[in-house]
Structures are given as structure tokens and as C-alpha cells.
Amino acid sequence: DGGITQSPKYLFRKEGQNVTLSCEQNLNHDAMYWYRQDPGQGLRLIYYSQIVNDFQKGDIAEGYSVSREKKESFPLTVTSAQKNPTAFYLCASSIGRGGGQPQHFGDGTRLSIL
């Protein structure tokens, strides 16, 4: 079955530590996204990528970094500069450009501070 796989499901970060969240898709989608979800705030876009080796900042990119070396993979690193990283992180993909293209989501990674 095609889909988006996020790992790990739960992740704990120590002070001053960088952590990387994995996102893999086998849908052959060109575009991929990372969102942060906090209670009562909906989803906020962190980064997105339209094609391999290219990515753009979203609304809340500070303290995060990404790479897109392969079409199917879009890992997110939460750096020590992100002072409030506790949240639910969602990865998504879509077939490409154009309005009306729905995004497909993974099951998320819940990040907490130790």
C-alpha cells in the first residue's frame, strides 16, 4: 500500500540536543511538507519542498532544518535553537503543483522534552 511513514512515533529530546524526525513516502509525490500541531492552534507550516534539492521556509521555520536529497524522503531536524519543541509533528505530501491537490498525511511524531 502506498503511503507516508513517519518515525519514530514518540521522541524525547534533552536540552541542547538536535533530533531528526523521519518522513518517507512511496506515493511518487513531488511535493512534501512538515507541519507542527499544538492544541487549539491547528496546523502550522514549518517547511515545504516542491522538488528534490529544493525547499522553502513556511510560517514557523526558525529552529528547524530540512533536507530533500531523495524524492521519497524529507527529514526534519529540530535544533537546540527551537526553545519550545514539544508538539505533534506531521509530514505530508502532494502530487505537485496546482490548486485542488489534496495533501496526504503520515501518522505523526510526538516530540517531548526530557
Partner 1 sequence: GNSVTQMEGPVTLSEEAFLTINCTYTATGYPSLFWYVQYPGEGLQLLLKATKADDKGSNKGFEATYRKETTSFHLEKGSVQVSDSAVYFCALSPPGAGSYQLTFGKGTKLSVIP
State the residues that interact with partner 1 by CB under 8 A. 4, 6, 31, 33, 40-43, 45, 48, 50, 58, 90, 92, 94, 97-108
- Whether 108 and 98 have beta carbons less than 8 Å apart is answered as no
Q: What DSSP state is assigned to residue 105?
A: E
In the complex, the smallest distance separating the C-beta of residue 73 from partner 1, rounded to whole angstroms, is: 17
In the complex, the smallest distance separating the C-beta of residue 7 from partner 1, rounded to whole angstroms, is: 13
Residues 6+ apart with CB under 8 A from 63: 78, 79, 81, 82, 83, 85
Residue 16 burial by Cβ neighbours in a 10 Å radius (0-12, 13-18, 19+): exposed
- Please, which residue, 31 or 79, has the CB nearer to partner 1? 31
Residues 6+ apart with CB under 8 A from 40: none
Count other C-beta atoms under 10 Å from residue 33's C-beta. Answer: 22
In the complex, the smallest distance separating the C-beta of residue 23 from partner 1, rounded to whole angstroms, is: 11
- Please, which residue, 16 or 42, has the CB nearer to partner 1? 42
In the complex, the smallest distance separating the C-beta of residue 32 from partner 1, rounded to whole angstroms, is: 10
- Please, which residue, 2 or 16, has the CB nearer to partner 1? 2
- Please, which residue, 10 or 14, has the CB nearer to partner 1? 10
